[in-house]
Amino acid sequence: TKQNMVKISPVVVFFHLSPFSFIFLQTIKAHEYPDFVKIVEVGPRDGLQNEKEIVPTGVKIQLIDMLSGTGLSVIEATSFVSSKWVPQMSDHTEVLRGIQRAPNVRYPVLTPNMQGFQDAVAAGATEVAVFGSASETFSRKNINCSVDESMLRFKEVITLAKGQHIPVRGYVSCALGCPHEGHIDPSKVAQVAKSLYEMGCYEISLGDTIGVGTPGSMCEMMQTVMKEVPVSALAVHCHDTYGQALPNILTALQMGVRVVDSAVAGLGGCPYAQGSTGNVSTEDVLYMLHGMGIETGVNLAKVVEAGDFICNFLCRKTNSKVAQASSKTL
């Protein structure tokens, strides 16, 4: 086990976890950082999706309910994909019906195709998401069709969604690299992002699916995408496989991004790199943002609690450094 060199005084930890930290840790904010950043919590979907052990429906619901009380305004609840492909998400209807929806919180669900969309709406979905890829090979291996074919599929979903006044979020995976193709041309990312945006997605989340991005490649990719899609409609979805997530997020913030995807406790390993960490942890992102004087509306301590809950169930240590540091004081 990794040990902490310095005994963290409880004062320091609770200082940072308490609401007062918002005030006392207000440091000089550079002009280019936003005042507010929206966190999109993807733990219950993207996080749990990569867990080998099937998590019981009741536990998923409890996790989402705990997250609903943290101040998060968007919690991705589940995915209406075929249970054959993603058995972990086969209880999508039960989860969506079972959660206690908090006011002012949105619960988008993934809907890869028309069938998924219809099932989602029947289950009460009020926001959906579609997943495109900047890599042809990844698209074929992940959703069994080419990028162009996937765009046609999404167009159908988006058209129907628009008709029912259901907002759609678009994801672009492999934005900074692909496990099969390696380097991905930023212009391809921009092209896919533009297509999704023009089709009607209100927000495009650019995903560093295998965490290979660095501030350099993030900057280059963002520059290219921002020529096609306004930065106010962009989000970043960083993986921490090589420890680069926070620097990459910082870079995105410096370029005007105001929406960051993250997962409680850094849930979700990388299916392409055994033993690697996956999603960046919500707790660590919050620590950075709050430390910079950027508001999120989210209570870090409560997110840590939700993270503790799910990690206890999974019998695993949290991937969040902040959560690890705070647990040492108890």
Q: Which residues are catalytic?
A: 270
Interface stretch with another protein, choices 28-36, 77-85, 165-173, 185-193 (CB under 8 A): 28-36
**How big is the site for another protein, counted in residues (CB under 8 A)?**
52
State the binding string over 287-316 for another protein (x if CB under 8 A, else -). xx-xxxx-----------------------
CA distance 188 to 34: 27
Q: Exactly one of 246, 273, 301, 314 binds another protein (CB under 8 A); which one?
A: 246
323-327, Cβ contacts within 8 angstroms, sequence gap of 24 or more = 323/265, 323/281, 323/283, 325/4, 325/8, 325/13, 326/13, 326/17
| Binding of residue 223 to another protein (CB under 8 A) | yes
| Binding of residue 230 to another protein (CB under 8 A) | no
Name residue 41's beta-bridge partners: 75, 262
Name residue 178's beta-bridge partners: 182
CA distance 262 to 251: 16
319: closest CA among 257, 229, 243?
243
Give how far Cα 276 sits from Cα of 46, 172, 184, 267, Å: 15, 21, 21, 11
DSSP states of 183-245 as a string?
Answer: S--HHHHHHHHHHHHHHT-SEEEEEETTS---HHHHHHHHHHHTTTS-GGGEEEEEB-TTS-H
| Binding of residue 12 to another protein (CB under 8 A) | yes
73: closest CA among 111, 41, 43?
41
Task: Enumerate residues 6+ apart whose C-beta is below 8 A from 257.
Answer: 222, 231, 234, 235, 236
| Binding of residue 282 to another protein (CB under 8 A) | no
| Binding of residue 25 to another protein (CB under 8 A) | yes
State the binding string over 169-208 for another protein (x if CB under 8 A, else -). ----------------------------------------
Q: Exactly one of 54, 219, 233, 314 binds another protein (CB under 8 A); which one?
A: 219
The distance of Cα 321 from the centroid of its chain, to the nearest Å, equals 18
Q: Rule CB under 8 A: which of 121-160 touch another protein?
A: none
| Binding of residue 322 to another protein (CB under 8 A) | yes
Q: Exactly one of 284, 303, 310, 311 binds another protein (CB under 8 A); which one?
A: 284
Interface stretch with another protein, choices 66-74, 143-151, 196-204, 244-252 (CB under 8 A): 244-252
| Binding of residue 321 to another protein (CB under 8 A) | yes
Our CB check for another protein shows the closer of 105 and 252 to be: 252
Contacting residues toward another protein, per CB under 8 A: 1-9, 11-12, 15-16, 24-25, 27-32, 213-217, 219, 222-223, 226, 242-244, 246-247, 249-251, 254-255, 281, 284, 287-288, 290-293, 320-322, 325
